[in-house]
Structure formats: C-alpha cells, structure tokens
Amino acid sequence: LGRKLTTALRSLGNSPVINEDVLKKCLKDVQSALLEADVNIKLVKQLTDGVKKQIDLDNIGTGLNKRRVIQTAVYKELCRICDPGVKPWKPTKGRSSVIMFVGLQGSGKTTSCIKLAYHYQKKGWKCAVVCADTFRAGAYDQVKQNCTKARIPFYGSLTEPDPAVIAYDGVETFKKEKFDIIIVDTSGRHKQEDSLFEEMLQVNNAVEPDNIIFVMDASIGQACESQAKAFKDQVDVGSVIITKLDSHAKGGGALSAIAATQSPIVFIGTGEHIDELEPFETTKFIRKLLNMGDIEGLIDKVNQLKLEDNEDLKKNLQKGRFTLRDMYEQFQNILKMGPFNQIMGMIPGFNDFMNKGHEQESTNRLRKLMCIMDSMSEDELDSPDGHKLFKNNDDGSRRLRRVARGSGSSPKEVFELIDQYQKFAQMVKKMGGMGLFKNGDLSKN
C-alpha cells in the first residue's frame, strides 16, 4: 500500500496544474491503493469524501501548496478513521480487573493473552491467566507452558468440561489472592458459529469482565469488517488487538476493526515471541501505511535538537522548506550537542560521508563543510532550493568554483556538500508535506 499510495500522491507533483480533474484522478488512485490494502470499501469512500470536504481547490494557493494540502488531508483522514473517539481501557491499582479475550480460533488469542500479561507484569502489575478453552485439545498445555516460561501464574483444568465454571473458579481464585489483572482466555471456533457465541456469553456472565478484548488476525483481509461486527454484536468489545502484522498482512483490516467495533486498537502483535506486542500508535501506523517509516527515527533525533530555539527554522520546516543556512545552523547545533554520527547516519547518503565511528574525524569533516558554506552568498544560503543554484550549468559551475576557491576546497567537495544538502532538503519537504510539523515542532501526534 505504502508504495502505491505514495505513487498516487506523488503523481500530483508531476502535474503542472492541479484542478478538479487532477484531484479526482489522484483520489481514484488513492482509493484503489486503499482497497488493495484491504481497507473496507465504505471506509475508502468515507476517506475520499472527507478529503474532498477539506479541500477548496480555488483557495489553497499555488500548485506546490495544493499538493501538500491534498497529501495532508489524506493523512489526516486516515488518522481520523483510526480514532474511534473512545479512550482505551486502563487497569486501576488497588482492585482486581478482569480482561476477557474473544476471537476466532487461530487469531492469536492465547498468544496475545500471555503477551499482555507479560507486558503488564514487566510494568509491575500482578497478573495471571485463566485458560477457559476446553474446546481445543492442548489449549491448557499451551497456556501452562508459556506462562511457566514467563513466570506468570495461571489457572486451568483438564477435567472440568464447562469453560464458564473454569473461568469463574480461576477468576475467584486470583481475586482472593489480590491479583491486579486477571486475563481470561476463551476458546474460538473456525467460524462464527452459534455455539461459539453461546459459550462466549456464558463465560462473560460468569466472570463479568471489566474489559473485553477482541483479537483479530490482520491477514484475513476484507473479512475483517464482518468478523469484528459479529463479535461486537454479541459482547461489549472494548478494545482490539490486531495480530500478525509482521506477516505480509496489509494492515487495512485494522481500520475496519476500529470502525466496526468503535473501539480502539490497543496493541498489535508483531511476531510469535512473548515480547512481540507493541502499543498501537495511530500516527506510526498510518506513517507505515504511507511508507513513512524510514523517517520516524529521524524525527526523534531531530526533536532532540531543540527547535524551539530557532524561530526561522521552525517556520521553514512548517513550510517543508530547508535552506543551506538551516543546514549550517543544524551543524552548529550538532557540534554543540556532541555525538552526531547517529543523526547523520539517519539521513540517506550521510552515512558513509560522515565516517561513522570516528568522532574527531567527523567533527573535523563537519567544520570543513561549514567552512565551505561560509564562502557562500546570503542568497545561496537562504534559497529554499539551494542546490538548484549549483546545478550543472555555466552559472552553477561558476558558483561551485567560487565557493571552492573561497573555502580552500575542491569543486568536488562543494558538489558533495550540495548533493547531501539536496537529500536532506527533500526529506524535510516530504515531512513538511505530510503535515508532520505541528506548531513548528516535529510532532509525533
């Protein structure tokens, strides 16, 4: 999806004029990319309608700006769809909370139960798991083995046939022992059969859960919506866990699950191992859908550079603009900050350029680059497209030679600097265009 969507949005950039037709074509491409990623058709329609509503083509300025407005609108709409408007459930200290897991067989319930217990246990909560699955042979053994490995107390029975009885007994036992979080694993069936739902309701009545988590396998594609809806119709689903997002699952189903259950996704499963459970972060998820994962780390790093101190840079970033002077000032910042290899390493191309691992050498290299920039004119430093001034034409070569002479370096060195700057500026443009800079900060939310 990422690539397709990015292509769809990028095609906007190739059009000299952006009018109703271009927008229509772009939204069509976006639609087909989303459908291919298993996003539910109703949601796709909702998204494009939302984007259209946000955009007033006549009043959003020039072509470049229009493109950004459209990109940002798509990004925002995706974020909006991901937000059910309900706060996720949280456990309370000083009382026992019961969490019941529901979902089809094979969706990853048992695995996720244990992952969740492990997650809370690491944070200092007293957790236990109750295995109320009497349907699947070996269900209890699975819980027993994995809980033992992770030192999580568990409860189950190989002789009691009634899952509601086991669930009740297990929950009561752990309540008496003042456990904070008691997780009840239930059975699933291959299909949404009446017998599954009946059993689910009985367990539900027996343990009266504080939170019901619906577990869904991300790889089931368009089936997500009806499945999530079927469970929501039966019990009061409060949260969702999407599993197997490490596989080639396209992730679009996650959006359907949120829409169908009107519940937040709280965690995602990213592997079979006990610690492969990640809190769901809307922006991160959408960025991944939009193929923006590579810049996530950079944002964190750049955030540490304290942009608040620099009003001009803030304004530029908001516009997706990054000049040579901005780069100069960032270098200054970095020199002040100490180890910068990490940051440089995140920028494509800077990697080898900066000679990773050799602090002193890198510092000298940076000084050299700043010395080159010191020989540039004010115009060159402040142009939003500084690299264009150094293009491969007469004027560009003249500038290149002048700066090289002035700074006692070779034209090749100046050329390399410009090349790296261009990559950096493109990155900033991309981030700015996606509306990632809020209030002048590289905002994560």
Positions that interact with Mg ion (CB under 5 A): 109-110
Q: Please give the structure tokens belonging to residue 361.
A: 């050498």
Nearer to ligand GDP, 103 or 435 (CB): 103
Q: Whole-number minimum distance, CB 270 to ligand GDP, in Å?
A: 6
Q: Based on the number of CB atoms within 10 Å of its own CB, is 352 exposed (0-12), middle (13-18) or buried (19 or more)?
A: exposed
Is there binding between residue 271 and ligand GDP (CB under 6 A)? yes
Total interface residues for ligand GDP by CB under 6 A: 17
- Selected from 111, 239, 341, 362, the binder of ligand GDP by CB under 6 A is 111
Is there binding between residue 146 and ligand GDP (CB under 6 A)? no
Q: Whole-number minimum distance, CB 187 to ligand GDP, in Å?
A: 8
End-to-end CA distance of the chain: 22
Residues of this chain, 379-438, that bind ligand GDP according to CB under 6 A: none
Is there binding between residue 163 and ligand GDP (CB under 6 A)? no
Residue 214 is given by DSSP the state E
C-alpha 38/C-alpha 198 separation (Å) is 30
- Selected from 49, 193, 208, 272, the binder of ligand GDP by CB under 6 A is 272
User: Which residues fall within 8 angstroms of residue 358, CB to CB, at 6 or more apart?
Assistant: none
Is there binding between residue 252 and ligand GDP (CB under 6 A)? no
Nearer to Mg ion, 109 or 287 (CB): 109
- Relative to beta strand 265-269, strand 181-186 is unpaired
User: Which residues fall within 8 angstroms of residue 41, CB to CB, at 6 or more apart?
Assistant: 35
- Selected from 15, 173, 270, 363, the binder of ligand GDP by CB under 6 A is 270
Is there binding between residue 108 and ligand GDP (CB under 6 A)? yes
Is there binding between residue 188 and ligand GDP (CB under 6 A)? yes
C-alpha 204/C-alpha 248 separation (Å) is 33
Q: Whole-number minimum distance, CB 133 to ligand GDP, in Å?
A: 7
Is there binding between residue 66 and ligand GDP (CB under 6 A)? no
**What are the CB-based long-range contacts (under 8 Å, 24+) for 190-198?**
190/104, 190/105, 190/106, 191/104, 192/104, 192/227, 192/230, 192/231, 196/104, 197/234
Nearer to ligand GDP, 276 or 413 (CB): 276
Nearer to ligand GDP, 244 or 325 (CB): 244
Helix (H) or strand (E) holding 14: helix 2-14
Helix (H) or strand (E) holding 258: helix 252-261
C-alpha 182/C-alpha 281 separation (Å) is 25
User: Which residues fall within 8 angstroms of residue 161, CB to CB, at 6 or more apart?
Assistant: 134
Q: Select from 35-43, 242-250, 356-364, 421-429 the region that touches ligand GDP (CB under 6 A).
A: 242-250
Q: Whole-number minimum distance, CB 131 to Mg ion, in Å?
A: 8
Q: Whole-number minimum distance, CB 186 to Mg ion, in Å?
A: 8
Task: Give me the residues that bind ligand GDP (CB under 6 A), please.
Answer: 103, 105-111, 188, 243-244, 246-247, 269-272
